């Protein structure tokens, strides 16, 4: 690194004429321009990286119904209705039983993961993170337990909050609301299973 104090002191000596001083300051000016150019290039690289990250984070497109996985609940496949008109996500649950595990509020519940198949049952456990009053599409208010769990659509996994309620009379066992989407996806309201559809044989194997 240049020691500017020593250089300036030396240049103040009568040994250096005006031409020498001009040459020196010109070289110093070029050095400053080079440093400035490097700094601008660094900023430009950072901007390019940010633009690249934004391109990577472009949301994927899903349809109004999709097959998803709930890995933490042990549900390999369940069909969901994607409803941007609903704020909260909801999961079918029955025989709810709350208990405490080392001071943590937990809930155990049954689930029919396949539509119109009440003979197929899976039992799940999860931590209760809240209890909320929820108004359904019919205007009915109900107090529900809220859990947080991972959801996987295609190759993308993220955590969502889900309320537990009996959806035996509903067409879909799970409803994915707009807060669950969390800007990860755009919804094509006329598309179905845009992130993939399981082979019927696989469905038979897992259930």
CA angle (63 as vertex; 139, 78 as ends), nearest 5 = 75
Question: Domain spanning 60-206 has what CATH number?
Answer: 2.40.70.10
The H or E element that residue 181 is part of is helix 178-181
pLDDT in tens, 141-170: 999 999 999 999 988 899 999 999 999 888
The mean pLDDT value of the chain amounts to 82
- Please give the distance of CA 19 from its chain centroid, rounded to a whole number: 64
CA dist 168 and 160 (Å) reads 22
Q: Where are the domains of the chain?
A: 4-56, 60-206
pLDDT of residue 177: 93
Q: What is the pLDDT of residue 29?
A: 64
Residue 55: its pLDDT value, please? 44
Alpha-carbon span 108 to 4, nearest angstrom: 73
9 Rama sector, left if φ>0, alpha if ψ -120 to 50, beta otherwise: alpha
pLDDT given at position 42: 46
Provide block-wise average pLDDT over 10 residues at a time, the chain (207 residues).
Answer: 52 56 64 56 54 57 95 96 92 97 96 91 97 85 96 92 93 93 86 90 78
Distance CA 130, CA 79 (A): 25
pLDDT given at position 57:
54
């Amino acid at each position: 690194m240049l020691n500017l104090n020593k250089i300036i002191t030396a240049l103040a000596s009568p040994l250096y004429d005006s031409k020498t001083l001009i040459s020196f300051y010109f070289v110093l000016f070029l050095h400053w321009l080079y440093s400035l150019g490097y700094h601008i290039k660094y900023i430009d690289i950072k901007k390019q990286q940010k633009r690249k990250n934004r391109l990577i984070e472009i949301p994927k497109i899903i349809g109004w119904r999709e097959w998803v996985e709930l890995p933490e609940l042990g549900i390999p496949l369940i069909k969901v209705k994607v409803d941007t008109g609903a704020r909260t996500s909801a999961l079918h649950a029955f025989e709810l039983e709350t208990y405490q595990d080392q001071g943590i509020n937990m809930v155990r519940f049954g689930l029919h993961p396949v539509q119109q198949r009440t003979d197929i049952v899976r039992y799940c456990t999860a931590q209760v993170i809240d209890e909320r009053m929820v108004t359904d599409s019919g205007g009915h208010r109900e107090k529900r337990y809220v859990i947080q769990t991972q959801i996987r659509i295609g190759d993308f996994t993220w955590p969502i909050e889900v309320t537990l309620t009996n959806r035996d009379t509903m067409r879909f066992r799970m409803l994915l609301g707009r807060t669950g989407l969390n800007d990860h996806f755009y919804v094509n309201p006329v598309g179905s299973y845009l992130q993939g559809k399981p082979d019927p044989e696989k469905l038979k194997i897992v259930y």
